[in-house]
Chain A
């Protein structure tokens, strides 16, 4: 059995709604093994994105701890955790700086979490490497290296976000419905690219999706969240036997 890469222990996240305190996540205990590619399913409001935010530090924990690659990170700032955790958002606009060029975005991502210095960015030296990197997307991104990202299509932007998240190998990759805003064809292409990169780089990855087919077809483990709790956790063997009908029971 592979070693534990991400350990969530008794995670509790609350939100204050007026006078009352509402629990967004309750008793989340999860051991993610190195190299796991986990798909996360759940209704709207089940707590999937909240779980990601708890891991990245974008919302405070009311209890519990997050341990990544052997280090407890529960008290570290989101900026500090970004050294270890990469994330791709649902909205293609969220992952890239619109007025900066593709190459400039890649250069920033190549130093994710590194100390910022007054050294020159030396963009030209990285261009050949970026071109090669961008070519694997198969959507012409390598021809747009000097274009501002706001001029890219949604698919190109999301492919770029994915490259930016993975070019410096993260300890954990979080995909937050990263294909949901794309048309079916583009969505399939990005999913394919995702699987390829995750396998090649042997990344540990959690992927939120609303597409049951994607949840079944990709990854080696499937988790279902409901009302802030983990209600099902299928390992590779159980997941292989899982059908769409089995999953539908969770979505009443």
Chain B
């Protein structure tokens, strides 16, 4: 039971990562590698700020701003420096590894004996792990609602159009490069926020905690799509959050089956690969069924 509640809480906190990645991966249509640096960057900034006596809420917002800064860097390298966006993300991700070490002063920084966001008296009064569910649900709700409102503004519609068809966007006077920077800033802001919250929930930040997070974010997006099928764009944001929770349960089941936690990364990769292949496999099977029926009808 406790493990289930914990999975929901972690799923919601990682859901922000999925939603942040959704902006670049699904709306703008490219995989943003910055994520692997942004997530620990947010964690490092939040934890360092708290250990320096800054209020946890402010520290959490600082994690988000740090993420936005990372996204801005990738965006400018890509649009002004004309570095392919995939490579720009990898460069920023690599650079951030050193920056994260500088921010923390060491590879792993604990929040032991430091009050963080989850030490709020109200959250403390809740049963074990329910605090992360509450924080995750509140933050996810705010973020998803804000994004839905944004996507329905004139700017938001231009943002979607720039990802959907850059040529058309340009012919309507929308600069796709500006929209790309906007998406990277917003997306990485959410990913930094996710890192900052996860670090506080875990009680530490680690310089290696970014390894494989892009897979976690993509898994949330794709599990949401596989489970819910055709949805509107607004609904897909929510589906991503739910996909993130489901992904936590998949990991939980895998561990329950007796797999070694050391194997989690390869299992994550396999889960994502399978989830991406499911719709293709399904459509292929359907084609076969149609062919079979066709043969029957003629025979």
Contacts and interface: CB of A to CB of B under 8 A. Distances in A.
B153 A119 contact: yes
A221 interface: no
B259 interface: no
A97 to B, nearest CB: 4
Interface stretch (A12-20, A102-110, A134-142): A102-110
Nearest to A118: B153
B174 A107 contact: no
B168 A95 contact: yes
Interface residues of B, number: 22
Contacts of B127: none
B202 interface: no
B158 A108 contact: yes
Nearest to B169: A97
Nearest to A79: B175
16 contacts: A82-B172, A83-B173, A89-B167, A94-B167, A97-B161, A97-B168, A98-B164, A100-B160, A100-B164, A107-B157, A108-B157, A108-B161, A111-B154, A111-B172, A119-B153, A164-B172
B150 A118 contact: yes
Interface residues of A, number: 34
Contact of A117 (B152, B155, B160): B155
Contacts of B289: none
A82 B168 CA distance: 10
Q: Which of A96, A107, A116, A119 counts the most B-chain CB atoms under 10 A from its CB?
A: A116
Contacts of A64: none
A128 B274 CA distance: 45
B173 A121 contact: no
Given A94-B165, A96-B165, A97-B164, A87 B153 contact: no
B168 A94 contact: yes
Contact of A97 (B150, B154, B160, B175): B160
Contacts of A93: 165
Contacts of B55: none
A112 B155 contact: no
A75 interface: no
Given A83-B173, A87-B171, A104-B157, A120 B164 contact: no
Contacts of B284: none
Interface in A10-40: none
Nearest to A168: B172
B173 A80 contact: yes
A79 B178 CA distance: 11
Given A94-B168, A107-B157, A108-B157, A79 B152 contact: no
Contact of A82 (B152, B154, B171): B171
B202 to A, nearest CB: 35
